[in-house]
Amino acid sequence: MPLSIEIIYTDPEFLVINKPAGVLVHGVRATPHREASSEETVVSWLQAHYPEVATVGDDPRQRPGIVHRLDKETSGVLLITRTQNAFEYFKKLFQTHEVQKTYQALVWGEMETASGIIDKPIGIKSGTIKRSVHSDKMAKPAVTEYRTVRSLTISGQPYTLLEVMPRTGRTHQIRVHLAAIGHPVMGDKLYGGKRSFYANLNRHFLHALAIEFTAPNGKRIKCEAALPDELTRVLTSAE
């Protein structure tokens, strides 16, 4: 069955889409030790529906039109550029932190404070794909703001629904930061350990809820993506 992706906003210069969970933004490049991925991706969908992206970006052969990314299991709003001018414009906006992103995350445990800021550099753990606040390898500054939406109990365990606003854009940033303060994202197999396990969810509970920015024409735009059904069902199962 062909990949189906909801288009939230369309403009001659860019798109905002609602990326489904379980879909890579772009494929994995082949190496001597690894075959290229053959699964459908956001990029393969783009190439089929918006062929003009073929020459757009820093690496259009691998990531045409892609100016930022979401993890494979993270759903929600994703901005796509359709022209090189738009790519350069939005790349600068991301670099200068002028794009506001809001996520929803369900995390293990009760938060010690209703809101806060996590300011911890993130590096790569040697020999792995994992990121860590305890590694100096290629470490870069990372800042994440959060606020509590509500506390709830699921299967006898305490959880907290958060709105999370990353102020930087590091790989796995939200998941790493929340795990680092003892509140891993529900279902996060890479960073959550046993505490984040939930049998009725086959992904992690992290959703890109909204993105807000000034478009190249000066118009202020905010796009939102509703919480997917599988995540809504988790919330409605709360005791």
- For each of the chain's 239 residues, which pLDDT tens digit applies? 678 999 999 999 999 999 999 999 997 654 444 445 668 999 999 999 999 999 999 999 999 999 999 999 999 999 999 999 999 999 999 999 999 999 999 999 999 999 999 999 999 887 777 888 877 687 889 999 999 999 999 989 999 999 999 999 999 999 999 999 999 999 999 998 876 667 678 899 999 999 999 999 999 999 999 999 999 999 999 87
| Chain region(s) in the chain for CATH 3.30.2350.10 | 1-96, 100-210+227-239
pTM for this prediction: 0.91
pLDDT value of residue 32: 44
Pairwise CA distance, residues 101 & 52, whole Å: 26
pLDDT value of residue 1: 64
Pairwise CA distance, residues 54 & 37, whole Å: 19
The Cα-based distances of 18 to 9, 14, 71, 206 in angstroms read: 10, 14, 13, 13
Pairwise CA distance, residues 24 & 20, whole Å: 9
pLDDT value of residue 139: 81
Token pair, residue 18, equals 């609602």
Helices (H), the chain: 42-49, 84-95, 173-180, 229-236
Task: Please provide the CATH number assigned to the domain covering 1-96.
Answer: 3.30.2350.10
pLDDT value of residue 125: 82
Question: CB-hemisphere CA count at 13 Å for 69?
Answer: 16
Amino acid at 225: A
Catalytic residue list: 71
The class that CATH gives domain 100-210+227-239 is alpha beta
Pairwise CA distance, residues 210 & 192, whole Å: 24
